[in-house]
């Protein structure tokens, strides 16, 4: 009798105990994608408050950027928020003078979700336009973000970005 009860429990509990709820995972992926898309919009619009609100406020966070000219990194909440404030202020002034507008479009997303952390990798097409000119500048970055869940919200813990367009002239196999 005990064996039958144990087998019945295994049969009834197994689906809920051992299978991940695909609906919840997809909801979490959509929430993470929304954080990314909000960050991209805030970056393009130089929205300091919006951009910094997407980050977790911790000393171990970082943003890393690499292109053919070198590598730059900002570590910790204070350095990231001050860097963003200075960059957005300078960019807003330059954009006002030059008539420049910027759009950032994420695509080719891969997102993995765990209980309290996640990561996403994707590409961003950056498009720069100038008012009154036909000139358009575009480039592509490959990005990898890590996330932590805090108070039921996904927050960015790190960004690693590579401007892949800057390396194109090197050629394949070199």
pLDDT tens digits for range 134-173 = 889 999 999 999 999 999 999 999 999 999 999 976 555 5
- Compute the mean pLDDT over every residue in the chain, rounded to the nearest whole number: 89
Identify the H or E element spanning 44: helix 22-44
- Report if pTM > 0.85: no
- Contact, 138 vs 127, CB < 8 A? yes
Burial class (CB in 10 A: 0-12, 13-18, 19+), 51: buried
- Calpha distance 162→65 (Å, rounded): 6
- What is the per-residue pLDDT for 103? 97
Span 83-87, average pLDDT: 96
pLDDT at 8 over 60: no
The encoded tokens of residue 40 equal: 């991209």
- Going by pLDDT thresholds of 50, 70 and 90, the confidence category of residue 6 is low
- What is the per-residue pLDDT for 60? 98
CATH 3.10.450.50 fits 21-166, yes or no: yes
Helix, strand, or coil (residue 55) = strand
* Higher-confidence position of 11 and 76: 76
Please give, one letter per residue, the 3-state secondary structure of 69-129: CEEEEEECHHHHHHHHHHHHHHHHHHHHHHCEEEEEEEEEEEEEECCCEEEEEEEEEEEEE
Which residue's entry shows tokens 């996640």? 118
pLDDT tens by residue, 15-47 = 444 445 666 999 999 999 999 999 999 999 999
pLDDT at 71 over 70: yes
- Contact, 117 vs 148, CB < 8 A? yes
């Amino acid at each position: 009798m005990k064996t039958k009860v144990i087998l019945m429990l295994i049969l009834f509990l197994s689906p809920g105990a051992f299978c991940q709820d695909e609906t919840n995972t997809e909801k979490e992926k959509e929430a993470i994608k929304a954080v990314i898309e909000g960050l991209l919009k805030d970056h393009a619009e130089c929205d300091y408050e919006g951009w910094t609100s997407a980050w977790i406020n911790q000393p171990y966070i970082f943003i890393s950027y690499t292109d053919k000219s070198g590598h730059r990194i900002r570590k910790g909440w204070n350095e990231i928020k001050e860097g963003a404030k200075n960059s957005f202020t300078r960019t807003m002034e330059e954009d006002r003078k030059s008539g420049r507008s910027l759009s950032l479009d994420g695509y080719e997303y891969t997102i993995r979700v765990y209980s309290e952390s996640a990561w996403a990798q994707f590409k961003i097409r950056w498009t720069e336009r100038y008012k009154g000119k036909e000139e358009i500048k575009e480039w592509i970055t490959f990005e990898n973000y890590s996330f932590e869940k805090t108070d039921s919200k996904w927050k960015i813990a790190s960004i690693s970005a590579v401007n892949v367009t800057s390396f194109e002239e090197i050629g394949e196999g070199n």
